[in-house]
Amino acid sequence: MLRIEPATEGDAALILRFIRGLAAYENLLDACVATEEALHRTLFGERPAAEVLLAFWNNEPAGFALYFSSYSTFLAKPGIYLEDLFVEPEVRGHGIGTALLARLARVAVERNCGRLEWSVLDWNEPSIGFYRSLGAVAMDEWTGYRLTDAALERLAER
């Protein structure tokens, strides 16, 4: 039996477990510096930066979706950006990922969002196939950019 519910402050350790599971799957565990304390502060503090949906399969933690608001100037509508979607390997194939995305799509529709979007690593063929099966379209003409660490600090000082 599948249950999906919004995360609460008491779920920070579980969220961190899922984040680390995703980081390991993406071969990025060394880049994962998140802590329970940081999750408490950024997800459940005075100004939450994101929201989380948790999935439970047979009352056991099974996966999560972490997302935040975005905005489309062309549509003049809010959107939702899915930062992370992860389902524990031992419970994949039960429709948990689909159910998390369907719940997130309902949230987007309820909030009158113009789109739901996310990124996927180009080598992650299982996920790419899954997203395509849902009707998602790759935005191949766009290239993502990121500033972090020293480069971010240097630009902020200009």
Task: Report, as an integer, the average pLDDT of 87-93.
Answer: 97
Q: Please, which pLDDT band fits residue 128 given cuts at 50, 70 and 90? A: very high
Q: How far apart are CA 107 and CA 117, in angstroms?
A: 13
Q: Please, which pLDDT band fits residue 65 given cuts at 50, 70 and 90? A: very high
Q: How far apart are CA 45 and CA 38, in angstroms?
A: 10
What's the pLDDT at 122?
A: 93
Q: pLDDT exceeding 70 applies to what percent of the chain?
A: 100
Domain ranges of the chain: 2-156
Q: Please, which pLDDT band fits residue 96 given cuts at 50, 70 and 90? A: very high
- Residues in Cβ contact with 113 at an 8 Å cutoff, skipping those fewer than 6 apart: 77, 78, 79, 80
Q: pLDDT exceeding 90 applies to what percent of the chain?
A: 99
Alpha helix segments (H runs only) across 31-148? 36-44, 96-110, 125-133
Q: Classify the C-alpha dihedral 142-92-58-96 as positive or negative.
A: positive
Instruction: Name the pTM for this structure.
Output: 0.94
Quote the CATH superfamily of domain 2-156.
Gcn5-related N-acetyltransferase (GNAT) (3.40.630.30)
Task: Report, as an integer, the average pLDDT of 28-50.
Answer: 97
Q: Which residues pair with 66 in a beta bridge?
A: 52, 84
What's the pLDDT at 29?
A: 97
Catalytic residue set: 131
The number of C-alpha atoms within 13 Å of 116 and in the hemisphere containing its C-beta is 23
Mean pLDDT across the chain, nearest whole number?
Answer: 97
